[in-house]
Structure 1
Amino acid sequence: MSAATADLPTTRLAVNAPWLVKLRWVAVVGQLATILFVQFGLEVPLPLAPLVTALAITAVTNLALDWWVRRAVRQQVVTPRKALGVISTVMLLDLVVLTVMLYVTGGPTNPFVVFYVVNLALAGVLLEPPLAWLLVVAASAGMGLLFWQRWPLEVLNDPARLTSMASQERLPLAAVGELVALVTGAGVIVAFITRVTSELRASQLAQRRAEDQRARSEKLEALGTLAAGAAHELATPLSTIAVVATEVERELAAHELPEHIAADLALVRRELARCRTILDRMSLDAGQSIAEALERISAGDLVELVIEDLSAANRIEVESQGDATEQVLQVPPVATAQALRGLVQNGLDASTGAVTIALKSQPGGVRLEIADRGAGMPPEVLARAGDPFFTTKQPGQGMGLGLFLARSVVERLGGTLEIQSTAGEGTIAVVELPSTD
Structure 2
Amino acid sequence: MSLPPRPQDAARRNLLLLILLRWLAVGGQLATILVVEFGMGIRLPLAPMLTTLAGLVVLNLVQLATARFPVTNAELLGALLIDVAALGVQLALSGGATNPFVTLFLLQVVLGAVLLEAWSSWLLVAVTSAAFALLAFVHRPLPLPPEFASRLSVPYMLGSWFNFTLAAVLAVLFVTRGAANLRQRDAHLAAMRSLAAEQEQIVRMGLLASGAAHELGTPLSTLSVTLGDWRHEAEARAFPRLAGEIAELEAEVARCKEILAGILFAAGEVTGEAPARTTLRRFVQRIVERWGRPELVTLDDCLWRDPPIVADRALAQTIVNLLDNAIEAGASHVTLTYALDDAGDGGEEEIVIAARDDGRGFPPEFLDGIGRPYQSSKERRGAGLGLFLASNVLRTLGGSLEARNDPRGGAVVVLRLPLATLSLEKKG
In structure 2, C-alpha distance between the alignment counterparts of 1:201 and 1:172, rounded to whole Å: 43
In structure 2, C-alpha distance between the alignment counterparts of 1:216 and 1:324, rounded to whole Å: 37
Q: Percent of aligned pairs with the same residue?
A: 29
Moved more, 343-352 or 226-235: 343-352
Q: Deviations over 1:103-154 (max 9, x none)?
A: xxxxx96999959958x959x98xxxxxxxxxxxxxxxxxxxxxxxxxxxxx
Matched, 1:425 2:409: yes
Read off the aligned partner of 2:312 and give its amino acid letter: P
Matched, 1:359 2:330: no
TM superposition shift of 1:334: 3.6
Distance 1:325 1:427, change over 3 A: farther
Distance 1:176 1:208, change over 3 A: same
Distance 1:300 1:268, change over 3 A: closer
Q: Deviations over 1:2-22 (max 9, x none)?
A: xxxxxxxxxxxxxxxxxxxxx
The normalised TM-score by structure 2 is 0.52
Matched, 1:163 2:142: no
Matched, 1:202 2:202: no
Choose from 269, 274, 281 the match for 2:250: 269
Number of aligned pairs?
279
Matched, 1:368 2:350: no
Read off the aligned partner of 1:253 and give its amino acid letter: A
Distance 1:245 1:320, change over 3 A: closer
In structure 2, C-alpha distance between the alignment counterparts of 1:428 and 1:215, rounded to whole Å: 27
Q: Deviations over 1:181-235 (max 9, x none)?
A: 3332221122111211221111122212222222222211211111111111112
CA RMSD of aligned residues (A): 4.7
In structure 2, C-alpha distance between the alignment counterparts of 1:111 and 1:414, rounded to whole Å: 63
Match of 2:29 in 1: none
Structure 2 portions without partners, runs of 5+: 1-96, 115-133, 140-152, 271-276, 422-428
Match of 1:225 in 2: 207
TM superposition shift of 1:432: 3.5
Read off the aligned partner of 1:186 and give its amino acid letter: A
In structure 2, C-alpha distance between the alignment counterparts of 1:114 and 1:198, rounded to whole Å: 26
Secondary structure class of the residue paired with 1:220? helix
TM superposition shift of 1:312: 3.8
TM superposition shift of 1:275: 1.0
> Counterparts of 1:94-133 in structure 2 under 5 Å?
114=103, 117=106, 121=110
TM superposition shift of 1:384: 7.1
Q: Are the equivalent residues in 2 in contact too, given 1:369–1:429 (CA < 8 A)? A: yes
Q: Are the equivalent residues in 2 in contact too, given 1:161–1:172 (CA < 8 A)? A: no
Q: Deviations over 1:301-357 (max 9, x none)?
A: 76467556534445444446576966x99x993434433442243235542323322
Distance 1:191 1:235, change over 3 A: same
Moved more, 415-424 or 181-190: 415-424
Q: Are the equivalent residues in 2 in contact too, given 1:387–1:400 (CA < 8 A)? A: yes
Q: Are the equivalent residues in 2 in contact too, given 1:111–1:178 (CA < 8 A)? A: no
Match of 1:377 in 2: 362
Q: Are the equivalent residues in 1 in contact too, given 2:262–2:314 (CA < 8 A)? A: no
Q: Are the equivalent residues in 1 in contact too, given 2:325–2:383 (CA < 8 A)? A: no
Q: Which has the higher contact order (CA 8 A, sep 6+)?
A: 1
In structure 2, C-alpha distance between the alignment counterparts of 1:399 and 1:368, rounded to whole Å: 18
Distance 1:274 1:335, change over 3 A: closer
The normalised TM-score by structure 1 is 0.51
> Counterparts of 1:36-47 in structure 2 under 5 Å?
none
Distance 1:320 1:254, change over 3 A: closer
Match of 1:346 in 2: 325
Match of 2:44 in 1: none
Choose from 185, 188, 194 the match for 1:212: 194
Distance 1:412 1:240, change over 3 A: closer
Read off the aligned partner of 1:359 and give its amino acid letter: A
Match of 1:280 in 2: 261
